[in-house]
Structure 1
Amino acid sequence: MARKKVLEGGKREDLVKAALELFLKNGYEDTSIRMILNKVGGEVGMFYHYFKSKEEIFDEAIKLFFSEYSKEVGEILNDNNDDFVKSLNTILSHLEQTIHKYNQLNTNKFHWSMRIALNQLTIRSLVPYVTKKIIELKKAGTINPIFQGTDSELTSFLLFGIHGILHDKPFSEIDSVEMENKKASIMKLIVMLLGINER
């Protein structure tokens, strides 16, 4: 009975969502476990039922951050069925906003290996959405890819190419002008690989 009372006031998902919101607002160092619990109206026992430490819930918040991003990209691709270039421009603009939010998380806390793992996790989460779109566009004759591998291989090659353009230096060192140049380079890569007629 005691444990049941401790768990009243929130669930694991609520804690992770609250933590992500606070980490985005305050950064890692300036967000406390107590602040997270206050946001969901929970007690200390509830937190430690689900998580061993602030670092553990931070890791889960980061996973949620990238999961939400991949879902949003999927929605953008589905919403612009008739204009793939328009979809790409929307995604790149959305990506710029996501990078800004990502910088707010104070990611200097991450070990380099964790940053790599998270980046790869993000790319893998996008593969199904982008592959589905590529298959649809090939069937419609909208694109004529020069890449002669499978659709999933083409998607992976494309996404990792975009990743390489974006991550040649830390996000914190990229100003708005350089970001626009990167977006232009990414668009050229996509148009070339997929054989898109920009009309």
Structure 2
Amino acid sequence: MANRISKAPEERKKELIEVATKLFELKGYEKVSVRDILSEVNGAPGMFYYYFKSKEDIFLACMECYFSEKLKVKVDILKNEKIEYYDRIKTLRELIVNDISQFVQRFNFSAENSITDNSYRLWELTHYIGQFVEIYADFILEGIETKKIKNNMGITKENACNISAFILYGAIGTIYSDSINGTKEVNNPNDAFNIISKIFAGDIGDN
């Protein structure tokens, strides 16, 4: 066995996550072992368990890394008031469609998985949505203040986060519920978008 190259802890952890992500995408979660990951980086078990408690732990870390990158892109767009409001909505929806497709492929969010298996994916997905709630609430308030969307629901600064959470988590349920329950694959995200449009009296995203 070749000598292992000494790397800084964060660099080594990042390498493990990158390698594990590629293997999970290539083989699927069930067919990847800790030994497979270590083989790719020429590492020892002790090194792996210094950073992660288990295969489940690194799987969650892979998804967290993925979602963190996606979240930053969406936040930057929603906060950029130099971009016209409806253009931001259109871009956001395009990103969501692309992200769903990539997420399903990379982390195998499939009806064929057991409910227990998909629970890891669902946990990380809901955690990611939680980080997006406040940003989306501010975006809704901006739309109301600039008359870009209607406010038939009586949205205020005090309840905007609750409304945002209701919409975002509801959208996730619409898109992923059948897959999580094992009945079929991920639903068309346009179904969720149409519901959101109706919530805002058809104004949001229809331009």
Partner residue, 2:61: 60
**Contact 2:17–2:61 under 8 Å retained in 1:** yes
Judged with a 3 Å threshold, the aligned counterparts in structure 2 of structure 1 residues 157 and 170 are, in CA distance, closer, same or farther, namely same
**Contact 2:137–2:161 under 8 Å retained in 1:** yes
Alignment equivalent of 1:108, drawn from 95, 104, 113 = 113
Partner residue, 1:158: 167
In the alignment, the residues of structure 2 paired with residue 75 and residue 109 of structure 1 have an alpha-carbon distance, to the nearest angstrom, of 36
Identity %: 25
What SS does the aligned partner of 1:52 have? coil
Alignment equivalent of 1:147, drawn from 153, 165, 180 = 153
**Contact 1:24–1:104 under 8 Å retained in 2:** yes
**Contact 2:25–2:105 under 8 Å retained in 1:** yes
**Contact 1:37–1:44 under 8 Å retained in 2:** yes
For 2:95, the aligned partner's letter is I
Deviations along 1:76-100, one digit per CA (max 9) or x if unpaired, are: 5356831244124313422431343
Task: Tell me the TM-score normalised to structure 2 length.
Answer: 0.72
In the alignment, the residues of structure 2 paired with residue 48 and residue 56 of structure 1 have an alpha-carbon distance, to the nearest angstrom, of 10
In the alignment, the residues of structure 1 paired with residue 70 and residue 104 of structure 2 have an alpha-carbon distance, to the nearest angstrom, of 13
Query: Gapped runs of 5+ residues in structure 1?
Result: none
Deviations along 1:60-82, one digit per CA (max 9) or x if unpaired, are: 22333333333343345356831
Partner residue, 2:26: 25
State whether structure 2 residue 199 is matched by structure 1 residue 193: yes
State whether structure 2 residue 142 is matched by structure 1 residue 136: yes
Judged with a 3 Å threshold, the aligned counterparts in structure 2 of structure 1 residues 55 and 96 are, in CA distance, closer, same or farther, namely closer
For 2:100, the aligned partner's letter is E
In the alignment, the residues of structure 2 paired with residue 138 and residue 155 of structure 1 have an alpha-carbon distance, to the nearest angstrom, of 13
Q: How many residues align?
A: 190
For 1:187, the aligned partner's letter is F
For 2:71, the aligned partner's letter is S
